[in-house]
Structure 1
Amino acid sequence: MFVFRKGYLVVSSFKRYGVALAGVVFHLMIGGVYAWSVFTKPIVRETGWRESSVAFAFSLAIFFLGMSAAFMGQLVEKFGPSTVGTISSIFYGTGIALTGLAIHNRQLWLLYLAYGVIGGLGLGSGYVTPVSTIVRWFPDKRGLATGLAIMGFGFAALLTGPVALRLILTIGLVRTFYALGLFYFTVMIIAAQFIKKPHPHELPTVIAQNAARISLTNQEMTASQAVRTRWFACLWFMFFINITTGIGLVSVASPMAQNMTTMTPATAAVMVGIIGLFNGFGRLAWATLSDYIGRPLTYSLIFVLDVVMLLILIIFKQPFIFALALCLLMSCYGAGFSVIPAYLGDVFSTKELGAIHGYVLTAWAAAGMVGPLLLSWTHQVLHNYYVTLVAFIIIDLLAMIVSLRIQKGFVTHHLTESA
């Protein structure tokens, strides 16, 4: 009996790490969207389109990612992650392949439909597919689990970029999209079949006992109940501010460093690559830290660090200090993505976490428009970045206050429950 039980525990542990691995692979595929800048100039040369027109396809894809995630999150709860993952593989693979057709036929509207709309729908459904499922498999290590999966999304550009450049040189731009579309579809549809929710008996007993507490609020909420709470509104606002700051800075990191310091274009290009690593590793590091100190305190620390580093960007002109501050800011940007799913699970339980996570991702769609536009507009009008950095400090301070109030609210709630 003991041997059987020991073997059962090994199988259960192996299965949950297998689900996590499948989730990482899945996010590595859809995270290729961050390598769009690699394709921008080749597409411009091939078609004659303006660079801004080509770049808009990426913004459109991110917008549809955020907006579709809310709907797709509900489908994860209703039909299961494998089904939604399969849908994602079809949409994303088709969108990438049709992008090649749009370039071949030189039809800009088809580029927006293929990459922006169809690909964006694939991104939205693919992003929510593994995250909530992995949280359910790792109730004892929610932060670590989501950090691993979402780190895959952050690091994907480092893999896709060099591969895409090699393919463009060997088989041409159009065929590169055809090949990537087929590759993404094949890998994603296989990985999706391994991403399944755990049955109650599939979690080792010790882990199930560690996850006995339903949530920080001691309530198990549905998605429709969760979105009506002040907790959700506060978390949405915090997530929105975090992304607005991060995505705004990453969109102008190179020119801002050259403008505000003595950094050369070559050095700035190296810095951009390094901050990408901090973005990826920050997702895992902060999420893992949150398992030990709790999600409320982690999010508060993220905004504290944001404010301090933004002040350093304004005050210090030395390239090394400026670059270091940007790197830490990018780690906070990545942290927002990896910590929020576990935070939502802590507050509302994992009953309908996929749907709740999908709803909060609408903040990504909004911030993706606000952050870059705010920076580009203020720089165009005022010819400097200082006013926008001050604006970012103000909104991060507001988010920090909200985060501290949430943290205090949970402490008060538990004291009341104990009494």
Structure 2
Amino acid sequence: MAGGKVKNRWLIALGAVGIHISIGSVYAWSNFTGPLGEEFGWSSQQVQLTFSIAILFLGLSAAFLGWFVEKYGPRIAGITSAVLFGVGVFGSGFAIQLESLWALYFFYGVLGGIGLGVGYIAPVSTLVKWFPDRRGLATGMAIMGFGFAAAIASPVMDWLIGTAGIAMTFFVLGVSYFAIMILSSLYLSRPPEGWTPKGFNPEEKKDVKSQDLANIRAKEALKTKRFYYLWIMLFINITCGIAVISAAKPLAENTVGMGTAAAATLVGVMGVFNGLGRIGWASASDYMGRSNTYIIFFALQIPLFMLLPVTTSVTLFVVFFGVIYTCYGGGFATLPAFIGDLFGTKELGAIHGYILTAWAAAGLAGPQFAAIMNDVTGSYANSMVYFGALFILALIVSVLTKVDIRKKQSIMREEQNQRRNV
């Protein structure tokens, strides 16, 4: 490595967590649903559309601005995210003062959503490069922040809304998130060319199983089966997971007879499982292998979704929900490391962005399907069986991915042997 002081990669990880804890507050949007409806007479559907627009633009901006992250680097991308998300949240306060739902859609949904997408992928692709020895742990740490954010932001939002009003809450949050994200972004950078962590020797990765399958550009990745396998797996995991999350409270009340307060508490506690699943599963994938981890996700959730509608035990219901939440979060956190394994780190941010279009699609498909099933059959529980069937498809795709990986490794092994024999 050339001279010059190298940044502390754990502080880089801390900066990534700072960004994700800020943007992850989008999952606490439901705190505004009641107050906005009471103050302006807007319906729950109108208010909830703000969240849907934000998630839609998160997926779209992650997909189409991945090149921006790769070209200008994580610091510029992080600062851009801070400006867009900070202005989006702060501007939502003006939308409230104007009593304009459309202005809220624009500031929080569109501007905030674009900031979400850029902020989501910027630190993750950087961490994979700083932690070649522990990719799963690194990405799990950052995306864990996104999972825990709602648990941190929710009580703060409730307190601010109650004491300062809705508009002032947006003003305070916008300034706070902007400051945290700017400070976090300023330390972000790619590792120097040729840098490796102490004690890690890339030459030791001569075993084909421990090598990346390729190191290609995003456009090349789009031509591979592996890219679409990952997209389908993420889409199904999010579609089913976000549907059960969106219906968690009525499911708990109607399936096992939980009271309203207990069901609300369950929803809050499950957010912790979401965060723990992100760091836990992603870290475990460093040892189990990424493809094996996804196979376990789907093999676990098939019976859990099938059993949820017929479960009468509160304890079992809570356990089932806890495991589902960990798998939901783990799917997000394990993905960037999986992308690195399959496609290398050359344009990881751009590839990650393309695959995250599955999030945008699933964010619309999952809750809508569960809501339609509830309207038609009178129960959210009836949709769980269909989601269980979807997981069977996801399991098949995950096995096909593993088979494809082994074929590629076999080709790499043959090429390696040929080079040795020359």
Give the TM-score category using the shorter length. Answer: over 0.9
| Alignment pair present for 1:348 and 2:347 | no
Query: Which of 43, 46, 55 pairs up with 1:50?
Result: 43
Alignment partner, residue 63 of structure 1: 56
Q: How many residues align?
A: 411
Aligned to 1:160: 153
After superposition, the Cα gap between the structure-2 partners of 1:283 and 1:254, relative to the gap in structure 1 and judged at 3 Å, is same
Select 1:87's aligned residue among 71, 80, 92.
80
Question: 1:33 and 2:26 equivalent?
Answer: yes
Mapping of residues 132-143 of structure 1, within 5 Å:
132-143=125-136
The answer to whether the Cα contact below 8 Å between 2:20 and 2:143 also exists between their aligned partners in 1 is yes
* 2:403 corresponds to: 408
Q: Which moved more, 1:395-404 or 1:193-202?
A: 193-202
Which residue matches 1:121?
Answer: 114
Alignment partner of 1:237 out of 216, 232, 235: 232
> How is 1:220-369 mapped onto 2 (pairs within 5 angstroms)?
220-369=215-364
How far does residue 135 in structure 1 lie from its aligned partner after superposition? 0.7
Amino acid in structure 2 at the alignment position of 1:176: T
How far off its partner does 1:261 sit? 1.6
Equivalent runs, 1:368-387 vs 2, <5 Å? 368-387=363-382
User: Deviation per CA, 1:57-106, whole angstroms, max 9, x where unpaired?
Assistant: 00110010011101221101011111111111111011101111111110
Match of 1:191 among 167, 179, 184: 184
Shift of 1:162: 1.3
Which of structure 1's runs of 4+ aligned residues deviate more than 4 A?
Answer: 210-217
Amino acid at match of 1:199: P
1:245-269 CA-to-partner distances (Å, cap 9, x unmatched) read 1000000011012111222222211
| Counterparts of 1:147 and 1:26, CA distance in 2 | 14
Bigger shift: 403-412 or 113-122?
403-412
Letter in 1 for 2:254: N
2:175 pairs with 1:182: yes
What is the rounded CA distance, in whole Å, between the counterparts of 1:237 and 1:230 in structure 2?
11
Select 2:104's aligned residue among 96, 111, 114: 111
**Deviation digits for residues 96-125 of structure 1, max 9, x if unmatched?**
011111111101110100110011011011
Instruction: Specify the SS of the correspondent of 2:29.
Output: helix
- Alpha-carbon spacing, 1:292–1:195, altered in 2? closer, same or farther (3 Å): same
Q: Using the alignment, how far apart are the partners of 2:295 and 2:406 within structure 1?
A: 14
Shift of 1:208: 4.6
Letter of the 1:177 partner, please give it. F
Please give the per-residue CA displacement for 1:282-321, whole angstroms capped at 9, x wherever unaligned: 0010001100010000000000011121122133211110
> Which residue type is aligned with residue 196 of structure 1?
S
Alpha carbons of structure 1 residues 46 and 385: separation in structure 2 relative to 1, 3 Å = closer
Tell me how far apart the structure 1 counterparts of residues 171 and 204 of structure 2 sit (CA, whole Å): 45
Cα 1:102–1:25 change in 2 (3 A) is same
| Contact 1:282-1:334 within 8 A present in 2 as well | yes
Segment drifting more, 344-353 vs 30-39 = 30-39
CA distance in 2, matches of 1:263, 1:170: 31
Residues 114-165 of structure 1: CA deviation (Å, up to 9, x unaligned): 1100110110111011001001100110000000000000101111111122
Which whole-Å deviations, capped at 9, do the CAs of 1:13-67 have from their partners, x for residues lacking one?
A: x611110010001101111111111122122222222222111100110010011
CA RMSD of aligned residues (A): 1.9
> Unaligned 5+ residue runs, structure 2?
415-422
The aligned amino acid for 2:287 is Y
Matched residue type, 1:79: Y
CA contact (8 A) 1:295 1:343 kept: yes
| 1:98 alignment counterpart | 91
SS of 2:65's equivalent in the other structure is helix
- Partners of 1:164 and 1:342 lie apart in 2 by 33
- Find the residue that maps to 1:195 and give its secondary structure: coil
Distance 2:267 2:384 in 1: 18
Contact 1:238/1:402 (8 A) holds in 2: yes
Give the letter for the 1:331 counterpart.
T
Structure 1 stretch displaced more, 34-43 or 21-30: 34-43
SS of the equivalent of 1:84 reads helix
TM-score normalised by the chain length of structure 1 = 0.94
Structure 1 residue matching 2:132: 3-state secondary structure: coil
